[in-house]
Chains A and B, each alone.
Chain A
């Protein structure tokens, strides 16, 4: 089974809606640091937080989070 990693378009979607990390954090009830670590892929959010983020950005959760092949795998 090929290795896959979770990636996200959070930064893009946030920018599209002209929101700062602080504003988005406010909308979903987390700290700005959490938003930043999710954007950088350092923290993988729970399903609950992923759904909250998708709702706040008004996009389907699959648009926000998707699986991509890990670097170095075909």
Chain B
């Protein structure tokens, strides 16, 4: 399977502070990859670079054969860790926005997701609870038939019951051949769905392997390993 994302020797500095140091990894099609690390480990810098929100880096980033930018954005569906859809939009308006800008957006799929979650589409997003807003954002992002999904803390702001539902939504709706790069602190909940994991510490990759292999070799879960690796990192 072709690589959906290729990163080679990626480094990014803010003056003397190195946010990313010689980061290299590939994500082939059809994989769910966890991007794991504490605050300040470089996860956001890496995601911003993939999304074309940061420039002035060294190394190479290739998404579906393209460098980061507006052309590559046709193939990446991005869920940031902030509420990026204007909250004065109604849910229906947000759907119309995605229809207008993304050719791969599937209205029926999104509408069915929202219906399952019992989200009223005629209401303004700001009138919905935080958890519901997260679900709306996720439904819109997963409603695209993208090659790469970049999800930054998709379950960060929702209750444990909703987490299961969101994870199930992610699993059921991402197309075959596409991949997901999923950044989170809440590893225990997402561990069962991860095919591979990347541990990022102080801008460097400390572990990058298939999830099953990591568990077998070290005889611990990813969650336990995360706690061990990052125990003294604040």
Partners in one complex: no
